[in-house]
Amino acid sequence: MAKETTRIRIGTLVSNPVLRPPALLAKEALTIDHLSEGRLELGIGTGIEPLDHAAMGLDYWSPGERVARFSEYVEVVDGLLANPSRAYAFEGRFYRTREAAMGPPPVQRPRPPITVGGQSPTVLRVAAERADCWNTAGPLGLGMDEILETTHRQNDQLDEMCVAFERDPTELRRSLFLVGALDAWASHDALEKIVRRFGEIGISEFVLFWPPGERLNLFEHVATEVIPALRTGTLP
């Protein structure tokens, strides 16, 4: 993707802590940041899929262990990418690294942007403390109104946490993954409705799946008309 494109930003949504040690992910991210000439967005999740644990020969992490690992994991990746030319050390409950140095500085300074995905209190805290973007899909299995209400509440919590970390809340981008009840391809104006409603509560980025075959005809309409109009505010 980095080699075949020149303008779009590329990245992961989200990298799985189950599959890679944090130092390995940081090294891969640094490499892709250079290959893309500074277009990487690094997403990190908590690792909730049982299949990934089974594939790696691991017992399934409990919710408590999962979020504790996540907090340490993001701290290590953040530290390594922000200080790639100096030896970095971390000693945590689940992760350790000593004398780690990544190599040349990243193209993006101080490091490629980090997105964290999830809704737990720990994920929200890590987002407010360290991330550049928070991504959520809302509570799965609920309708749009319930997702909107929950996301609004979590956005307010993030604002408060940012202030507690002496950070401007506007520095943390808010991103919504359109899945389940948030189906961008459900109708001709579905994406517009979702963007309008969630934009009002502070969501500024929207992540879409590729449309299913029977709705592929909507893709060109959304890409060439809806999205540019939403960006410029020119939709009627």
- 28-81: pLDDT as tens digits: 999 999 999 999 999 999 999 999 999 999 999 999 999 999 999 999 999 999
Instruction: Give the angle 230-235-236 at the CA atoms, nearest 5°.
Output: 155
Residue 233 pLDDT exceeds 90: no
- 115-151: pLDDT as tens digits: 999 999 999 999 999 999 999 999 989 999 999 999 9
Ranges of each domain in the chain: 1-113
List phi, psi (to 5°) of 34.
-75, -40
- Put simply, whether the predicted model's pTM sits higher than 0.95 gets the answer no
- Using the structure block, give the residue that is written with the tokens 């309708």: 143
Q: For the CA atoms of the chain, what is the radius of gyration?
A: 19
Question: What's the CA gap between 189 and 181, in Å, rounded?
Answer: 14
How far lies 49's CA from each of 64, 76, 182, in Å? Answer: 15, 22, 21
**159 closest CA partner among 137, 174, 177, 148:** 174
